[in-house]
Structure 1
């Protein structure tokens, strides 16, 4: 793959990751972390929803895989830029560790006395 082709694939992927991070930052800022800390049930629902999404994604990938098909061996897949963005956005948005990271990062830069 040429450098130009690699960069054309990496830009929508990076944009999808940054879009998901921006939404997670907003969620943390609006108090998602406080809701999760106050309610064990909310954390359990989020964990089960993420787990269900990852299981669904795994099953979908396994069903699409055809390792013995000679037509697909070595063939270049044409994936749209929007599809690349969406794949990375969903993968990043489903990562609960990012929310925990932002929740531990931001309090040191904010003041509890100041309005939101």
Structure 2
């Protein structure tokens, strides 16, 4: 399945300016927050997690929270996404691909899941 999401970078920036680190803690784990150097990256991570939840057909909510999805970077800096073991098993996810881009005030992410 495929999921896609778009988010305003200013939305994430304003959230951070109002709530500080707690804004990031709402949707990121500590090791993910360490990867954030710019608001564009944070917005891309938000979009990636939203897209990932849509790719399993639930959206963020009761069945899938932001913290059920983890984002890392490869050695070359490419984003990588991993679902919790419970979600991978429940939705038969074999492999996941993630792409994030940002330009002109928005961040967009697309996620593709290969299902067993």
TM-score, normalising length from structure 1?
A: 0.25
Q: Which has more strand, going by share of residues? A: 2
Larger Rg: 1
TM-score, normalising length from structure 2?
A: 0.25
Q: Which has more helix, going by share of residues? A: 1
Q: Which has the higher contact order (CA 8 A, sep 6+)?
A: 1
